[in-house]
Structure formats: C-alpha cells, structure tokens
Amino acid sequence: MDLLHFLPMPALAQVWPAVPPKYEWLFLIGEILSGTSYLVVASTLFFLALKRDDRQRKMVLLLFGVLGLLGAGVHFLNLWGGEEWFLTVQVLRLVVGVASVLGAFLLYKVIPGLLAIPSPKRLEIANQELREQVLERQRAEAALRETQLELEKRVQQRTAQLITANRDMEREMETRKSTEKQLMAKNYELVRANADLDDFVYYASRDIKGPVLNVAGLVAAIKEELPTNNPALSELFTRLDKSVDQINRKLNNLSEVSRIQRPVEQAQQISVSFDEVFEEVRRVVMDRLEGVEHTMEVDFSAAPQVSLSRENLRSLLYHLLTNAIKYREPSRPLRITVASDLQDRFVRLKVQDNGLGMETSQYEGKIFSLFRRFHDHVEGSGIGLYIIKRIMDNNRGKIEVKSALGEGTTFLLFFPQTTSPETTARV
Amino acid sequence: MKKLQGILLIDDDDTNNFLNNRLLSRLEIADQIREFRNGKQAFDYLYAISQGIVDASSAEYVKPSLILLDINMPVMDGFEFLQMFEKLDPAFRADIVLALLTTSEHKQDTERAAASNITYLTKPLTTEKVEELLNQHFPELRLK
C-alpha cells in the first residue's frame, strides 16, 4: 500500500461512503482506469472533431470530448488533495454535473439529426445504386459517342459526295456558260449578218431603182420621138415596157423586204385591230378580184387584236390575200376564210383558200425561201412568203402551212402575246 | 402665159436630170432650168446669187422659184443641203419652193421630210406630179 502514498491520500476520506482502508487499492485502481479511459475517449473525440469538416458534427464531438475530459478530471480529483481541496473538488463535480446535463440536453436536441445519419448498410446500397447508375450512364455515353462518330462519318461522307457533286455541277455550269457564250456570239453574228443583208438589199434596191427609172423614162422618151405607126417597134416597146415593169416590181418588193425589217419600226409595236387593217388591205386588193367569182368569210371576234406594228400586219394580210387570189383554182369559185383566235399564249391568224394548193412535203423548208416560186402560170416575184416568214421571225412568231395539191392552202400565223390585261384575263 | 423664173434640178444622176429637164421644158413652165450634180454645187451657186456676187443681168443669173432636190447624193446630200439652205438670207429664200424628188421610200426619209414641212415626190417625175406641185404652190400657173 505504500505504493499509493505518493498521492495526497487523505482524499479518500472525502469519498462518500468512505472507502474502507483495506479496499483502498481497489478504489484507486478503479478511479485511475476510469479517469485514463475518460481521457483517452476525450482525446479521441477531440481528434475526430479536428478531422470533421462539417461544423455541426464538430461541435457535438467537441462537446462530448469536453464531457469526457471533465469526467476524467472528476475521477482524478477523487485521488487528489486533502481536507483543504474538499470544496474545490465538490465545485468541480457540480460543474461537471451541470455540463453533463447540458450535454444530455444537447444530445436530446440532435436526436433527429443523428437518426438521419444513414447506416453503412443503407449507404452501401445507395452507393451500389449510384455505381450502377454511373455505369449505366457510362454505357449510354459510350453508345452516344459511337452514334456520334457514326453520324460524323456519315456527314463527312455526305459532305464529300456533295463537294464532288458541286464540283461536277460547277464544271457543268462552266461548260454551259461557255456554250451559251458561243451561242450568243453566234447569234450576234447572225443578227449582224441579217442586218447587213437587209442593209444590202435596201441600198442595192434603192441604188438600182434610179437607173431602172431612167431606162423607163428613156424608153418613154424614145417612144415619143419615134413615129407611132411601126408595128414591129410597138411590139418591141411593149416587151421592153413589160421587162422594165418586172424589174421595177421586183425592186419594190426587195425594198419592202428590207424596209419592213428595219429595227426602227419594231419599236412601234402596239395592239392593232385585225378588222381595221384587213379592211384597208381588202380595198387595195379589190381590183384583183374584179371578175373573179368569190366568197370571203372574215371573223376576228375570237381575237380582235394583235400586238404588232400596223405596217407589218398590213404586209402580212396583203401577201396572204394576194397569194390566195393569185393561186386560185380557176375551175371553181374562190373561197377565202380569214379568222383569228387565241391558242395557248398565241394569237393565231388563219387564212384558208380552196385554190391550187401545193405539195408541201416536196418543198419542205423551201416554201419561205426568197424568190422561190411554185407556179409558173401567174405573175409572181417569189417574195411574198419570204416577207411573211421574215415578219413572223422578227416578231418571235411562227408560221405553219397546210396544203394539198388541188384542194387549197391554209396558212396559220402564231403571234406571241405580250401580257396585256385582256389576254391574261382570258387565259 | 406666166412662167416660173427658174427651176433648179439637183441630182447626181445625169440621165435623171436630163429626163426631168426634158419633161419640164416640154411643159414650158419655166424660163430657165439649171442642173446641179450635188448639193454643194447648188448651194454655192445659191449663196453667190443671194450675196449679189453674180450680176443679175448676166446669163448666169437664174433666181429659182422651184428647186427639185434628190436625197442621196455625193459630197452634200439633200438633207445637208436643206440645213445649209436654211442659213441663207430669209428674204432671198421667201419665194423659193423646195421639193424632194427621190427613189427612197424609206420611212426615215419621209418622216424627215414631213418634219421639215417639205413636199416629197417619188421618182419618176411625171406630168401629173408636176401639175399637182404647181397647183399646190403656184396656183396662178396652169399647164397647157
């Protein structure tokens, strides 16, 4: 027992009930072990509080640490001091008691929080679920990446195809452009050649006309100077007059060809009335119908107007009518039908006769040639159909001929219509 | 019978001038007929007499009452002649009648003539055309 005497032993007397001296060692060992374990628990709790990163848990751990420390203090104080320490030790015990009550109260307060702390098993299950979810997500992401890659590959392929197609198209367009350019150049050349030809025809006919008129005048003058009673001379003069007349007429026709196509006159296109112009032309050709049994049916009610220069329409109707009269079938009364109507985007003019007709297949492509003639029994210059064709060409129109030998001929002239309110309403 | 003092024929075509001269001479409507081969020759002449450079009593002096003018001529054509003619002394020009006589039936020419308010005749010149011209501009004159 001497072993215990390094402590101020009279303290034992303060414990109630007093410890019987023969069990003092038991009491001492108990107190020391309790105090030490309290100390160990307290320091462990402090250590944990130090490591915790959430404030609330830290405070609770700290509080229990302090309680442990106080507990250890009480146990050790049981071993400490004599009579003079009595009050101190009891006060300390009181403080520890109060602090414990406080701690118990706080513990009671944090019960819901402590209950909320999930058990490791639940955590494990939750973790497992989370892991599975993560795995699932990773799989989905991988699948997505694969799809994305596939898509990108496809996009690249398509882009490549598109680029190739584009390049092909560009090349195609380039070719077309150059072809178009060539065409335009050729077209321009053609237009120029045509204009040159028109100019040539115009100036040639004009310049030849003077001398021809002179010849006619000189012939007339010679006739005046010569005696009139020579039948041989009269015969010669008749032939000479006829020849000069022919030249003159051809020249007039030629200058008509060139004059009608002058671009200056193309600008003067307005809507002209079929009825009006036809009346004019009918009056002009009237004398050619003298003594000819004939009927003429005229009906422009379906399309009373056409967008064309007046002079061009006059020329067209004149040549179509004179053609029908010239090439009539003498064994039957002449019947001419003239009518207009609307066909798609065109105004169609129809001039039909029951005359000699011609074998169109035989002359295909030559009908509208200059100086081309199909009958030799009547006077003709071979210029009328050419003029008709040129006028239609110049006005972007087209012309069709239906003819049967011995039955008659039908000319169909198609004029493109500019979009006037009247025609759009009808279409 | 009253006659025109003079007629000028302006045409580069000699034969045409000859024929017209012949026709007009036979119609006996003018004291004098002069021919010129182009507008410039005719204009130079007209300028000279309008300025009094040519003596009025000389045989060279012909004050025209009527001028028949071709359009297409070398050196100075009909329309150029008309422009120059407009610049002559108005008093001198006052009693001169101008008429175009041409083979051209080109709209451009006929329109230009109409704009200048000038008579437009197409060749050949005939008695009927002369008669019409006289009726229009010299009603006091009658053909025989």
Residue B85 placed within a domain = yes
Give domain status of residue B144, yes or no: no
Closest in B13, B106, B107 to A210, CB measured = B13
Q: What CATH number is given to the structural domain containing B130?
A: 3.40.50.2300
Residues in chain B: 144
- Residue A319's nearest CA partner among A263, A245, A386, A371 is A386
Residues of A in contact with B72 (CB under 8 A): 206-207
Counted domains in chain B: 1
Q: Say if the Cβ atoms of A259 and B22 lie within 8 Å.
A: no
pLDDT tens, position by position, B4-55: 889 999 999 899 999 999 999 999 888 889 999 988 999 999 988 888 887 7
Looking at the domain covering A267-416, what would its CATH class be? alpha beta
Does residue B143 lie in a domain region?
no
Collect all residues from A whose CB is shorter than 8 A from any CB in B.
Answer: 202, 206-207, 209-211, 213-214, 216-218, 221, 255, 259, 262, 264-265
Contact A330, A302 (CB under 8 A): no
Question: Which residue of chain B comes nearest to A213, CA vs CA?
Answer: B124
Q: At what angle do helices A120-225 and B14-27 cross, to 10 degrees?
A: 50
Chain A residues whose CB is inside 8 A of the B110 CB are: none
pLDDT at B10: 94
Which residues in chain B touch residue A259, judged by CB atoms under 8 angstroms apart?
105-107
From the list A251, A308, A307, A300, the residue with the least C-alpha distance to A275 is A300
User: What is the bridge-based pairing of β-strands A294-299 and A334-343?
Assistant: parallel
The percent of chain B in helix, strand and coil, each rounded to the nearest 5, is 40, 20, 40
Q: Give me the sheet containing B97-102, strands edge to edge.
A: B30-36, B4-10, B66-69, B97-102, B119-122
Neighbours of A106 (CB within 10 A): 14
pLDDT in tens, chain A (427 residues): 445 555 555 445 555 566 777 887 888 888 888 889 989 988 998 888 888 777 777 877 888 888 888 888 877 777 765 667 777 777 877 887 888 888 788 878 878 877 877 788 888 999 999 999 999 999 999 999 999 999 999 999 999 999 999 999 999 999 999 999 999 999 888 888 877 887 788 778 878 888 899 999 999 899 888 887 888 888 888 899 889 888 888 888 777 777 665 544 455 567 889 999 999 999 988 888 888 888 889 999 998 988 888 888 988 999 999 889 988 888 889 999 999 999 888 999 999 999 888 877 666 566 676 556 666 555 566 677 888 888 888 788 888 888 888 888 899 999 987 654 444 333 3
What is the pTM assigned to this prediction? 0.52
Q: Does B128 touch chain A (CB under 8 A)?
A: no
**Residue B125: inside a domain:** yes
CB-CB neighbors (< 8 A) of A207 in chain B: 72
Asked if residue B142 is part of any domain, the answer here is no
Cα distance between residue A286 and residue A288, in whole Å: 5
Q: In what order do the strands lie in the sheet with A408-416?
A: A294-299, A334-343, A346-353, A408-416, A398-404
CB pairs below 8 Å between A and B: how many? Answer: 41
Domain extent at residue B72: 4-137
Domain layout of chain A by residue ranges: 12-116, 267-416
Q: Report the alpha-carbon distance of residue A73 to residue A39 in Å, rounded.
A: 8
